[in-house]
Structure 1
Amino acid sequence: MKKNILPSNLISDIKNIILQSKEKAIRSVDFQRTLMYWHIGKRIFEEEQNKKKRAEYGTFLIQQISEKLQPEFGIGFSVRQIHLYRQFYRTFPILPTPYAHLSWSQFKLLLRLDSDEQRDFYIAESLHNNWTVRQLERQIFSNLFERLQLSNDKESILAIARKEILPSDPTQIIKDPMVLEFLGLKMQSSYYEKDLETAIITNLQEFLLELGNGFSFTARQKRITIDGDEFYVDLVFYNRLLKCFVLIELKTHKLTHQDIGQLQMYVNYFDRVERLPHENSTIGILLCANKNEAMVKFTLPLEQKQIIASQYKLYLPTKKQLLTTIKKEMDKSPGNF
């Protein structure tokens, strides 16, 4: 029987090299495909410009190209797909080097967006957070840009996404509402806070994605002792951008002043016991099914920024619903937008 003399980490290291090389090869192939579609779109657009006096020429041109190429190269050259290549070039007339990290599937999602501001935001977030196609799709469908816009101006949202500035206020990165459709909890069903907490822990990766940039999970049911009495903080996170602890209390009932007072006590404890000298003040989030703005306003001191009430939704809100809410906020505080 031969003695195994291989170092314990040799095989795992070689496997990692193989997997990384395969991943790079796939990315390289996808980028070349994306570049090919961009060049096709550019060539079609240039031909259209040469015949710009004929308004119907573009439609005729794409139809003819499809008829010539689809029999040989397949469904990738259907009329619909060729229209997409043309739109791709017109939307992105220049492809900077960082775009090489985006896949064609991600570009197709970006082409559906209504504005350059939205595209710039989702591109920056995709690149900095290394979002997969599925993650980008969920963030677009959950209207992340519009939800952040409820408490921020567009310029700040884009600047933070591009990492041109760091967030100075927790509301710049904490969403309201938070969309937790991935938990699988039904609106019609009755459930307890522990059910909500368990569902979040089970789907922690998706919850961290929903929380946003810079969050890492620290503890669940964190025990703290105050004068011999024991209390438990539902969820504890740390945000490296804000450089502070973020405590989350889950409430499935309508928000009360007792809930706010309890979370304020937890925040005070972390500030005085857990926080290090170089860290910023602790933030507390009341994640509740029904948010009472007036209750928050009159329970907490004016200008305080440590306690935030954020409503959670178990379904994806429509863009129309969010834009209606944004309009209401703009009407109330026109100087904020």
Structure 2
Amino acid sequence: MTEITRHTDYRQALAAIKQRIQTSQTRAVLAVNAELLSLYWDIGRQLDVLQRERAWGSAVVEQMALDLQATYPGMKGFSRTSLFAMRQFYAFFSPQFEIVPQPVGQIPWGHVRTLLSKVKSVDQVLLYAQACTEHGWSRTVLEWQIAQRFHERAGQAVGNFAKTLPAPQSELVQQSLKDPYVFDFLTLAPQAVERDIENQLVAQITRFLLELGKGFAFLGRQYPLVVNDRDYFLDLLFYHARLKCYVVIELKAGAFKPEYVGKLNFYLSAVDDQLRAADDQPTIGLILCKDKDKLDVEYALRDIHKPMGVSSFITKDIPLSVQSQLPTVEEIETELTALIQDGEKAPDA
């Protein structure tokens, strides 16, 4: 270490310059990617016009590929298959968009082709493209999320967030949770208990965090708290960087029971008093259980003032096609009529 590198001012300046370089590199990559997608969009548009107006069909795509490859022999990306993908790219979005839609323009071409081949709805493609940007998903992770029907689960955990948290925090919390969670990396025997689930989740913490989503930082299992000289242990404790709050997760191997809410409410109060900093948002809680009854959950959460929700989880022994038993807001209001006045809103995530 030289005399200069010992100074704090130098180290701070070096760190700032490194950050500026990384930012510039990221912007350059995004700019190149956006220009590439704009090119592919325009090629797709022209091919689409030629196919429709000249009735040349697939022959025009094949001829264009031959001519472009002859003109640019060392340039990749203009094969027959690639040009058909560009034409599909334009045709898929063009009824709604005149240019490349913003979320799609921020992801690599390989991601775009994956979405076009596996997702049929424009809205769902935009959702996945936005998630790729926010979470930094690789193409492999994107394919896995599509296979696990992320679009059906994101933002679907039902809780009392709209009643216990101010906007926009309540919306951010809602968007950060799912129902059901897919723990297909777990192998549980029929007699498995909460500790078995906890052990496997922690052993597979990388995949667990991937399923939870971006922002969750794992702080510990069986996290100790002392209240009134008695020891208590939280199943799993996280801190969410985006929400700026602690997250307590309680695991239940069986079906949801109303008494679980009271225990979690106690834990949230203790974490708020003992761990929460002045600039932290209120601690939120999530009960993860194997199954739940819709009315049990709704009644249990109705008069609770701490923010919490309930989600089910799916393992290898339960198919993803088995849907959550929790009803939509409209179904709850129909069944309970005047008893429920404020339904939670589940946003598209």
| TM more than 0.5 | yes
Of 34, 43, 47, 2:50 maps to 47
Report the equivalent of 1:62.
61
Q: 1:60 to 1:38 in 2, by over 3 A?
A: same
Q: 1:149 to 1:75 in 2, by over 3 A?
A: same
SS of equivalent to 1:220: strand
Using the size of structure 2 for normalisation, the TM-score is: 0.69
Q: Deviations 1:275-308 (Å, cap 9, x if unpaired)? A: 2233222211111112243333344442645232
In structure 2, C-alpha distance between the alignment counterparts of 1:226 and 1:331, rounded to whole Å? 40
In structure 1, C-alpha distance between the alignment counterparts of 2:326 and 2:250, rounded to whole Å? 29
Q: 1:60 to 1:22 in 2, by over 3 A?
A: same
Q: 1:202 to 1:105 in 2, by over 3 A?
A: farther
Q: CA RMSD in A?
A: 4.3
Q: Deviations 1:24-76 (Å, cap 9, x if unpaired)? A: 9998987776566444323312323442xx4xx32343355567778989997
In structure 1, C-alpha distance between the alignment counterparts of 2:248 and 2:293, rounded to whole Å? 19
2:109 aligned with 1:110: no
Contact 1:223 1:232 in 2 (8 A): yes
Percent identical: 28
Using the size of structure 1 for normalisation, the TM-score is: 0.72
Contact 2:288 2:313 in 1 (8 A): yes
Q: Deviations 1:175-228 (Å, cap 9, x if unpaired)? A: 1111112xx223665433223222222332332232234322222211111222
2:331 aligned with 1:332: yes
Q: Once the 2 structures are TM-superposed, how far is the Cα of residue 101 of structure 1 from its aligned partner?
A: 4.6
SS of equivalent to 1:175: coil
In structure 2, C-alpha distance between the alignment counterparts of 1:310 and 1:144, rounded to whole Å? 14
Please give the residue correspondences for 1:199-214 in structure 2 after superposition, counting only pairs within 5 Å. 199-214=200-215
Count of residues paired in the alignment: 313
Q: 1:328 to 1:173 in 2, by over 3 A?
A: same
In structure 1, C-alpha distance between the alignment counterparts of 2:68 and 2:112, rounded to whole Å? 23
SS of equivalent to 1:86: helix
5+ long unaligned stretches in structure 1:
1-6, 8-12, 153-164
Which segment is superposed worse, 90-99 or 302-311? 90-99
Which segment is superposed worse, 290-299 or 273-282? 290-299
SS of equivalent to 2:286: strand
The structure whose residues are more often helix, as a share, is 1
Please give the residue correspondences for 1:266-285 in structure 2 after superposition, counting only pairs within 5 Å. 266-285=267-286
Q: 1:294 to 1:328 in 2, by over 3 A?
A: closer
2:178 aligned with 1:175: yes
Please give the residue correspondences for 1:249-268 in structure 2 after superposition, counting only pairs within 5 Å. 249-268=250-269
